[in-house]
Amino acid sequence: MTDKSILVKELFENTALYLTYDYNLRIRKETVDAYTEGKTFDAVLDMPCGTGAMSRSLLDKTKKLSLVDISANMLAIASENIPETQRYKTECINDDFFKLDIPPGSYDLVICLGLLAHVNSPEQLLRKISGIIKPGGMLIIQNTDASHFYSHLIRFYLGLKGLIRKQPYKLNKVKASFLEQVLHEEGFRREAAYRYNQSFLGFSNLFSNEKKYELTRRFFGDTRHNKHASWGSDYTYCFVKRA
Ligand SMILES: C[S@@+](CC[C@H](N)C(=O)[O-])C[C@H]1O[C@@H](n2cnc3c(N)ncnc32)[C@H](O)[C@@H]1O
């Protein structure tokens, strides 16, 4: 394992920390549901799956679901939450994605949310994911645009609070333009991108989870009508690989 993957694993073995991550998980899940509405799949990969909440509802739409996460504790939650009747078509893999030897074109949908900031090489991640998606297949991927004004604001705010130095490792700063360029080179067409902001800066403690969800939806809308999209630093994309 490389240094960063050891630290990432340690960080996410503490699942309680992530589960307080709140309304963002709900927004992500609803975005995945909207992008996959009315579609069916042969094989779906949710990587990193975390608690599996993003892909569980796809079990009715796919013949096979693969859940991959480097954190054993996260994967245990994901596995426990699979209904008994759907277990036969689910595989759970506790490993570093970069170590997996997955045959090219294995999946017609890959969901990759919340990972780009945590890997050694975002470009290597994008190219590896691209290789395992079939021509015509879909990629739902999330990134916080490092060049967006809100990302600069967050870094400034966290810097002031001394929080950046307390992080166990440096989060990658991935620009939207970089991600889009690499995926374009890999033959992907951008179908959609839902944009919003993942935090309320210093005002987070003023609002309940429910309120933050409500305020976010009121300001940014949903995938069908993404209001004020240019204000949103966080992108959940839907790409399709050219056939
Ligand atoms: C921010 S969470 C996102 C989980 C889920 N996709 C979601 O949106 O709720 C990041 C997850 O990535 C996992 N992870 C980090 N590096 C990984 C790697 N190299 N291979 C597989 N999983 C990894 C962590 O264990 C953690 O569960």
Identity at 170, one-letter amino acid code: K
Q: Is 25 touching ligand 1 by the criterion CB < 6 Å?
A: yes
Mutate to test the pocket of ligand 1, among 19, 31, 71, 93 (most ligand atoms within 8 A of CB): 71
pLDDT in tens, 133-179: 999 999 999 999 999 999 999 888 888 777 665 677 788 999 999 99
CA–CA separation, 112 and 129 (whole Å): 9
Atom of ligand 1 nearest to the CA of 111: 6
Tell me the pLDDT tens digit for each residue of 42-87: 999 999 999 999 999 999 999 999 999 999 999 999 999 999 999 9
Cβ distance 53 to 29 under 8 Å? yes
Global pTM reads 0.95
**Count of residues making up the chain:** 243
Produce one character per residue of 25-59: b if its CB has 16 or more CB atoms within 10 Å, e if not: bbbbbbbbeebbeeeebebbbbbbbbbbbbbbebb
Decide whether any atom of ligand 1 lies within 6 Å of the 74 Cβ. Answer: yes
* Atom number, ligand 1, closest to the C-alpha of residue 46: 6
What's the structural domain count of the chain?
Answer: 1
H helices of the chain, in order, are 3-13, 15-19, 23-36, 72-80, 122-132, 149-160, 163-166, 176-185, 209-220
Quick check: 172 and 155 in contact, CB under 8 A? Answer: no
Per-residue pLDDT, 157:
85
CATH of the domain at 63: 3.40.50.150
21: CA distance to ligand 1 center in Å?
A: 13
> Tens digits of per-residue pLDDT, 102-111?
999 999 999 9
195 C-beta closer than 6 A to ligand 1: no
Evaluate: CB of 116 within 6 angstroms of ligand 1. Answer: no
Domain residues for the domain of 234 are: 3-241
Kindly state if the Cβ of 96 falls inside 6 Å of ligand 1. yes
Sign of the CA dihedral 130, 118, 32, 95? positive
DSSP character string of 123-187: HHHHHHHHHHEEEEEEEEEEEE-TTSHHHHHHHHHHHHTTHHHHSSSPPP---HHHHHHHHHHTT
Tell whether ligand 1 has an atom less than 6 A from the beta carbon of residue 52: no
Mutate to test the pocket of ligand 1, among 23, 69, 237 (most ligand atoms within 8 A of CB): 69
Ligand 1 pocket, residue 70 CB under 6 Å: yes
Residue carrying structure tokens 């929080």: 163
Ligand 1 centroid, distance to 189 Cα (angstroms)? 25
Range 200-209 average pLDDT: 84
pLDDT for 29 equals 96
CA 229, chain centre distance (Å): 18
The percent of residues above 90 in pLDDT, for the chain, comes to 79
